[in-house]
Amino acid sequence: MDPRRALSFGAQAQAYAAARPTYPVDAVRFVLPVHARRVLDLGAGTGKLTSVLLDLGLDVVAVEPDDEMRAHVDPRAVVLKGTAEDIPVEAGSVDAVVVGQAWHWFDRDAAMASVRRVVRRGGTLGLLWNLLDDSDGWPRELAEHIGMEDRLSFAQTADNSPYDGAPGPWRRQLFHHEQAADPDVVVANMASRSVVIVLPDAERAIRLDRVRELVPSGDFALPWVTDAWVSHFS
Ligand SMILES: C[S@@+](CC[C@H](N)C(=O)[O-])C[C@H]1O[C@@H](n2cnc3c(N)ncnc32)[C@H](O)[C@@H]1O
C-alpha cells in the first residue's frame, strides 16, 4: 500500500464523482446480510456505494478521511470523517461494513480489528471492486496504457483472496454491468486514478492525451465487472 496514492483521490474528487461507475444493486445485495438495517460504507469516497445502499432503504453511515471526497457524499447518509483503522462508531452498532474499491488501501490487520469491533453478530464484511472488462478491444489497450490494477484479467489470473483473516470463509461472485460513456467520461475516469494522479503534471497530460486517442468517438457502453466478496460474522 502506497500511502501517497491511498490519500491522493481528493485532488480529482470532481472527476471521480462524475466518471467512476456505480455498483450493480445485485452485487451490493450479495454482500449484505438479509436482515441488514444499518450499514457502514468504509472509505466511502464520493459516495458511489453509499447512494446504492441508501436507495435500498438502509440507514447508512459513510466514513471517509478525505475532505474533498467526503463533500460529495449523499447527505441522506450520516457522513463521518474517519479511517478504516479507527472506525468512529460504537461497538456492535452496524449490520455490515461494506468497502468499495478501497480495501487494498487500508492497513488490513488494523482495519479488520476495527471492523470486528463495529459489526454485530450475524453481520457481514463485504468488499467490492469495479474492474474494467479488458477481455479485448480498446479497453484492453487502455488498461495496459494506464497500468490499471483493477481490471478483469488480473482478477481472473491472480491468487487474489482479499484477506486471510476474515471472520468466515469468503464467498465471491462477479457481476457484469455497463456504464454509459463517451471520450470525456473515459478521460475523467482515468484522471481520477491514483496511478495517474501522482504523476508529474506534464507526464499526466501526455498519458491522458493518449487515452483520448485510444477510445472511440461518440457514445458507447463501457464494460465493467463488479468483483464482490462477502464474509459472515458468526
Ligand atoms: C478508490 S476510492 C473508493 C471510493 C468509494 N468507496 C467508491 O467505491 O467509489 C478509495 C477511497 O479510500 C479512501 N481511503 C484511503 N485510505 C483510507 C483509510 N485508511 N481509511 C479509510 N478510507 C481510506 C480514500 O480517501 C478514497 O476516498
Encode pLDDT of 102-149 as tens digits: 999 999 999 999 999 999 999 999 999 999 999 999 999 999 999 999
The whole-number pLDDT of residue 161 equals 85
What length does the chain have? Answer: 234
The whole-number pLDDT of residue 155 equals 85
Q: How far is the CA of 217 from the centre of ligand 1 (A)?
A: 31
Cβ–ligand 1 distance for 66 under 6 Å, the answer yes
The whole-number pLDDT of residue 204 equals 97
The whole-number pLDDT of residue 159 equals 63
Residue 141 is given by DSSP the state H
C-alpha cell of residue 140 = 484492453
SS3 224: strand
Cβ–ligand 1 distance for 61 under 6 Å, the answer no
Cβ–ligand 1 distance for 69 under 6 Å, the answer yes
The whole-number pLDDT of residue 78 equals 98
Q: Which parts of 51-170 are beta strand (E)? A: 59-63, 78-80, 94-100, 119-132
Residue to mutate (ligand 1; options 9, 40, 97; most atoms within 8 A of CB): 9
C-alpha cell of residue 178 = 455497463
**98-108 in b/e burial notation, b at 16+ Cβ within 10 A?**
bbbbbbbbbeb
The whole-number pLDDT of residue 179 equals 98
The whole-number pLDDT of residue 2 equals 81
C-alpha cell of residue 198 = 501522482
CATH class of the 3-232 domain in this structure = alpha beta
Give me the residues of the chain with pLDDT under 70, please: 1, 158-159
Q: Directed axis angle between helix 137-146 and helix 201-214, to 10°?
A: 170
